[in-house]
Each structure stands twice: as structure tokens, then as C-alpha cells.
Amino acid sequence: MQMGRSDEDGSGKWLGIVVFLLGIVFLVVVFVLAYRDLIGAGVLGQLTGDRRVVEANAALITLGIKFAMFIVMAYVGSAVAGRGIGMYAASRSHEV
């Protein structure tokens, strides 16, 4: 006796798509926050402007910490998107 499903799992398919889209939203939010922080801190203006950086060490340390946090958040977003794709693929019909 063969056990398995012969048709697609509709709820698993939709849940996989929703989780994938949630991961994509996480990634977009991370990149928007990173851009906003770079503009708000004036880092991009300091790189192209004539002004002297008064506290270069503090600014670089803060920028490094923010960069590390954004890398972690981007990794989490991509992991969530990957899980969504995995759920979607698992819900598709397989030949038994």
C-alpha cells in the first residue's frame, strides 16, 4: 500500500508564499533603515563634503555597530524568505 498525497497542499502552498513575502518585506525594511541611518548620520555627506570629521573614531565605531546589526537583520530576512520557499516547495505534489 502506497501512502502519500497525489494532489497539492493548498494551505501549505499559500503559507509558503506568505512566509516568503514576509522575508522579502524584512529585507526591504532593512535596506530602507540602513539608507535612512546613513543619510541621517550624515555619513554620506561627510564622505563627499569638505567638512572635517570632529569625532572620526566615534562615528566609525557607531557605523560599524550599525553595519553589523544590519547584516544580522538581512541574514534573518533571507532565512525567513528561504523557509517560505522551502515550505512552498514541500507543499507541491510529488510523484509517489
pTM beyond 0.75: the answer is: no
Angle made by CA atoms 72, 55, 48, in degrees to the nearest 5: 75
In a domain, 36, yes or no: yes
In a domain, 61, yes or no: yes
Domain of 28? Answer: 24-91
In a domain, 59, yes or no: yes
In a domain, 32, yes or no: yes
Question: Cβ distance 26 to 76 under 8 Å?
Answer: yes
| pLDDT for the residue numbered 62 | 78
In a domain, 64, yes or no: yes
Count of structural domains, the chain:
1
pLDDT per residue, tens digit, the chain (96 aa), is 455 555 677 888 888 899 999 999 988 998 888 888 777 766 655 555 555 555 566 777 777 888 888 899 889 989 999 998 888 888 886 654
| pLDDT for the residue numbered 69 | 86
Contacts of 33 (CB under 8 A, 6+ apart): 70, 73
